[in-house]
Amino acid sequence: MPLLSDHFARALPEMALSWQAEPVQEPRLLVLNEVLAGELGLDPAWLRGPEGVRLLVGDHAGVRPVAQAYAGHQFGHYSPRLGDGRALLLGELVHADGGVRDLHLKGSGRTTFSRGGDGFAAVGPMLREYLVSEAMHALGIPTTRALGVVGTGRAVVRESLLPGAVLARVAASHLRVGSFQYARATDDVDLLRRLADHAIERHYPGVEGYRGLFEAVIEAQASLVARWMLVGFVHGVMNTDNMTISGETIDYGPCAFMEAFDPGTVYSSIDHGGRYAFGNQPPIAEWNLARLAEGMLPLFDADQDKAIELALESLGGFRSSYNGHWLKGMRAKLGIPDVPEAPALIDDLLALLHKNHVDYTSFYRHLSAAARGNTEPAREVVLDLAGIDAWLARWLPLGPDADVMDAVNPLYIPRNHLVEEALAAATAGDLAPFTELLSVVTHPYVEDPAHAHYASPAPQDFGEYQTFCGT
C-alpha cells in the first residue's frame, strides 16, 4: 500500500472537510484498470485482494479522506455551496510520468454537502463513467481516468431499486472553476491566492503570475472543447463545477456521442433549453471561463476596473485559440494541408452532413476510403448525391492523406445503443458485454472486422436517445 499524500487538504484546509466513506459490508470488484494501477505504483494483484478492494471504497487505515468544497453555476444559476455530496478525495499519488494524481471516490455516501441527495451511485452510471472516460483517454482527449468500480451490494433508490457501486477515479486534480468561485465568495483573498498558487504548482508550474494561470486555463479548455467537437462528444452538463482547471474532461453524467451530425443535439433529459447542446459547447466554455475570471479578479489587480480590463483582455484569447485548435483538427480529419479553401470546404461538408443526417463518426472513415479511390461508401450515406459529388470534386484534388485521416478518425466510439445494452446487462449481473465494449472503444483506431457492428450507428428502432442526470 503506497502512501497517499494530502497536499490539497494541507494547502487548503478551508476547502477540505475530513470525512469517512460509508462502510461497505461486502465489496465486490467489478472492473479494475490494471494498466492505470501499475502507472500509479499500485499492484493490481493487491488491489484485487481484500485490502485493495477496501481501499477502493475508502475503507483503509492509510487514507484520510476529505470532502472538497466548491460552488458553481448550474444551468446558469449560481449555487454558493455545492461540494462533494457523494464523493471523497482519498489523497494524492505520483504517476509514472512524474505528475501528481488525485485518487477520488464517487458514490461513497452522504457528506455535509449532500443536500437532498443520498450520497450513493448505481452500478450503471459508474460503469458508464468508467467506459466513456477510458474511451476518451484512448482517443487522446484529456480526461479523468477510472481505476475501478466496486459493487457495494447496497440497493440504491432511483426510479427503481438499483445495485450500488463506488467508482475510484483518478484525476490531475479536482480543482474546478467552481473551486475558485467558492474561494472568491468567502472574501478571503489569502485563501484565493493559496488556491491559485496550488493550481499553478500542480498544473502550470511555468506560468507567470495569476493572469498567466488564467490564460493557461483558457488555452487548456479551448483545446479540450475543440477535441470534444472534433469527435462529436456532448458533455451534457457543463456547469462551472464540472469544468476543471487542469483541462481534463470531468464528470461523465448525461454525456453521449452524437451520431447524425446536428449542432442542436441534446441528450440530457433536464437540458430543456438546449443550453449544453453539442454546438453550444464552445460558447458555454467561454461563459464558464468568464465566471472563472470573476472568481480570480482580486488576483489580477487591486483596482477592480483595472482587473476587469485585464480579465477581458485574456478572455479575448479564447475564440482564436479554440478556432485554431478546431480548424487544425478538422484539417487532419479531412487529411488536407493548410490551404486557403479549407475553412469553406469544412463548413460546406458539415452543412451537407447536417442536412442529410449523416453519422458523424463513420463518415470520416468512408472519406478515407474515398481518398484511397473508393468513393462508394461516402456516396452511399448521403442522400444528396449531387451535393456529395460536388464536394468530393473540390476535396479530392487537394490530395487528402488517408493515413493521416485514419490516425485521427475513430472507428469505434461508445455508441449510445451499445452503452445502454452493456450497462443493462451489467446491472443484471452480466459483465461480459461491458468488458467487450470496453476493449473495443479503448482501441478506437484499429479496424477489426470481427467488430463491424460496433462501428455502425444505432438501428432505427433504438429511437431518440435520452440520458438522465439522476445518476
Scanning the structure block, which residue is given the C-alpha cell 500509479? 40
Q: Which of 248, 251, 271, 406 binds Mg ion (CB under 5 A)?
A: 251
Is residue 359 near Mg ion by the rule CB under 5 A?
Answer: no
Is residue 237 near ligand AMP by the rule CB under 6 A?
Answer: yes
Q: Which of 179, 242, 288, 361 binds Mg ion (CB under 5 A)?
A: 242
Is residue 179 near Mg ion by the rule CB under 5 A?
Answer: no
Residue-wise burial string across 374-395, b where 16 or more C-beta atoms lie within 10 A, e elsewhere: ebeebeebbeeeebbeebbeeb
Q: What single-letter DSSP state applies at residue 97?
A: T
Parallel/antiparallel/unpaired status of strands 145-157 and 100-106: unpaired
Quick one: what does residue 421 bind among Mg ion, ligand AMP, none, with the CB cut-off 5 to 8 Å set by partner type?
none
- The residue (of 253 and 400) whose beta carbon lies closer to ligand AMP is 253
Stretch that binds ligand AMP, among 31-39, 55-63, 79-87, 292-300 (CB under 6 A): 79-87
Is residue 82 near ligand AMP by the rule CB under 6 A?
Answer: yes
Is residue 114 near ligand AMP by the rule CB under 6 A?
Answer: yes
How is residue 280 written as a grid cell?
Answer: 453550444
Question: CA-CA distance, 383 to 193, in Å (whole number)?
Answer: 57
Quick one: what does residue 86 bind among Mg ion, ligand AMP, none, with the CB cut-off 5 to 8 Å set by partner type?
ligand AMP
Q: Least distance in Å: CB of 469 to ligand AMP?
A: 6
Number of residues counted as binding Mg ion (CB under 5 A): 2
Residue 312 CA: distances (Å) to CA of 15, 24, 245, 292, 346: 28, 49, 18, 12, 30
Q: Least distance in Å: CB of 234 to ligand AMP?
A: 15
Q: What are phi and psi of 407, to 5 degrees?
A: -80, -20
Q: 338 exposed, middle or buried (CB, 10 Å; 0-12, 13-18, 19+)?
A: exposed
241 is catalytic: yes
Say how many C-beta atoms besides its own lie within 10 A of residue 138's C-beta.
Answer: 18
- The residue (of 114 and 186) whose beta carbon lies closer to ligand AMP is 114
Q: What share of the chain is helix, strand, coil (3-state, %, to 5)?
A: 50, 15, 35
Stretch that binds Mg ion, among 13-21, 106-114, 237-245, 417-425 (CB under 5 A): 237-245
Is residue 80 near ligand AMP by the rule CB under 6 A?
Answer: no
How is residue 469 written as a grid cell?
Answer: 442526470
CB contact at 8 A, 266 and 234: yes
How is residue 105 written as a grid cell?
Answer: 471516490
Quick one: what does residue 114 bind among ligand AMP, Mg ion, none, with the CB cut-off 5 to 8 Å set by partner type?
ligand AMP
How is residue 54 written as a grid cell?
Answer: 477496501
- Mapping DSSP to helix (H, G, I), strand (E, B) and coil, where does residue 153 land? strand
Q: Least distance in Å: CB of 65 to ligand AMP?
A: 14
Q: Least distance in Å: CB of 158 to ligand AMP?
A: 9
Question: CA-CA distance, 147 to 33, in Å (whole number)?
Answer: 5
- Mapping DSSP to helix (H, G, I), strand (E, B) and coil, where does residue 188 land? coil
Quick one: what does residue 301 bind among Mg ion, ligand AMP, none, with the CB cut-off 5 to 8 Å set by partner type?
none
Question: CA-CA distance, 239 to 78, in Å (whole number)?
Answer: 10
Stretch that binds ligand AMP, among 30-38, 112-120, 223-231, 378-386 (CB under 6 A): 112-120
Q: Least distance in Å: CB of 154 to ligand AMP?
A: 13
Is residue 251 near ligand AMP by the rule CB under 6 A?
Answer: yes
- The residue (of 242 and 280) whose beta carbon lies closer to Mg ion is 242
Number of residues counted as binding ligand AMP (CB under 6 A): 17
Quick one: what does residue 101 bind among ligand AMP, Mg ion, none, with the CB cut-off 5 to 8 Å set by partner type?
none
Q: Which of 108, 173, 221, 242 binds ligand AMP (CB under 6 A)?
A: 242
Cα separation of the two ends of the chain: 31
Active-site hit among 6, 59, 102, 241: 241
DSSP secondary structure, 408-440, as one string:
HS-S----HHHHHHHHHHHHTT--HHHHHHHHH
Q: Which residue is nearest to ligand AMP (CB)?
A: 117
Q: Least distance in Å: CB of 71 to Mg ion?
A: 12
- Mapping DSSP to helix (H, G, I), strand (E, B) and coil, where does residue 15 land? helix
Q: Least distance in Å: CB of 63 to ligand AMP?
A: 19
Q: What contacts 326, CB < 8 A, 6 or more positions away?
A: 226, 229, 230, 282
Is residue 253 near ligand AMP by the rule CB under 6 A?
Answer: yes
Which residues form the interface with Mg ion (CB under 5 A)?
242, 251
- List active site positions: 241
Which residues form the interface with ligand AMP (CB under 6 A)?
82-87, 113-114, 117-120, 237, 241-242, 251, 253
